[in-house]
Each structure stands twice: as C-alpha cells, then as structure tokens.
Amino acid sequence: MSLIALTGGIASGKSTIARRLAEHGAVIVDADQIVRDVQAPGSPVLGRIAAEFGDEVIQAGGSLDRAALGGLVFGNPDKLARLNAIVHPAVREESTRRFAVAAEADPDGVVVYDVPLLAESRAHDPWELVVVAHAPAEVRVGRLVSERGMTEAQARARVASQATDADRLALADVVIDTAGTMADTLRQVDELWERMPRLLAARA
C-alpha cells in the first residue's frame, strides 16, 4: 500500500483533488470525517471538549455545536491548541486503524489521507508523498465569502488560524495550483496520477 498525504488550507480545493483521485482508484481517508466521527454524541472526545469549553458547545440533542466551538477557538491560539490536544490523538489513532483496513483490503492500492492540518500536527509522518493544494490566501478568503457565506472578517480569521502557505509548501513533494479553473485543477490531478508510480518508485 502507498500512503499519500493530501493537504491544503481551507477553501484550497483539496476536496476536489480528493474526489478526482478517488475516480482514478485511490482510497480516500477523510480526516475531517474522522474528526466528526470521534466527536460523536457520547464519545470520550466530546466529553473532554465539553469539560474543557463548557456545555454551551453541546447542542440540546447531545451533539457538538461546531459553530459555537468555532467561535471560541478560531482567532484564539491558546484555546485552539487545547482543542487540538484533545482531538488530534484520537484522530491519529482512528486514521491509523483505517489505513490498516485499507492495506488489508488492497495491499497494492493507493491510500490518500485528506488532511487539512498536516502542517499543524506532524508528530508522525508515514507518508510516501505529500501533495499540497495551493491557492493564495486572498483567493481562499474570497471563496469562503462567496461560497460559504462567511463575512470577510470570519474568513480571514479561519485562514489565519491555520498554518501559513509557506509552512504547507515546505512539506510538499507535489503542488497542485488550485487558483485557476476547475478544468486546470483536474488536469493537474490527472497528470499526478499518471506520474504517481514513478514518483513513488523514486522514493522507495
């Protein structure tokens, strides 16, 4: 099994790249989905989040109020670090389990770990290749405003809460420029898939 990390800032087009790689046959392990799974109602992680940040981040039905939690931590590095200290170990453990399941199902397959916070949580790096989805911060702010309904201030706070472009690009073995058209992004992904065996062989 080949394990590829795919990362990028919020609104960088990372999910578009992941979907295209899945069309080519890669197995996608979605870190954001794992975060939601480990924070499910009744989970130990959700209990620790409530203990740390208060019951106001829990909805009446027992699920996490993501908007309330986001309002507390984004723009507050100390609170964000406390949240990450709770969530990241659980996500890492579950991710590793899913990698193992994928490897057992297809020992020769390609697994892509779709992970937004790779630069922020580099405790363990098993990746054979790191692919970075890159669009300038101003482009991503514009997308958050136009596509997700954020105010400009909210969008800038979300972008600022993540690693810098330079931090992510420093990790990259391959950069996909997502600032252009969808067709241009998909063309780059198709080219990456065609080159993938050679790239992996060169790093073996």
Place of tokens 């397959």: 109
Please state the φ and ψ torsions of residue 135, each to the nearest 5 degrees: -140, 140
Backbone angles phi, psi at 108, to 5 degrees: -105, 10
Asked whether residue 15 is marked as a ligand-binding residue, the answer is: yes
Distance CA 126, CA 2 (A): 10
Q: Does 47 show up as a binding residue in the annotation? A: no
Residue 79 is labelled as binding a ligand: no
CA dist., res. 151 & res. 154, Å (int): 5
Q: Is 164 annotated as a binding residue?
A: no
Sign of CA dihedral 98, 100, 101, 103: positive
Interacting residues of 54 by C-beta distance below 8 A, sequence separation 6+? none
96 is in an annotated binding site: no
12 annotated ligand-binding residue: yes
Neighbours of 195 (CB within 10 A): 12
The binding site consists of: 11-16
The binding site for ATP consists of: 11-16
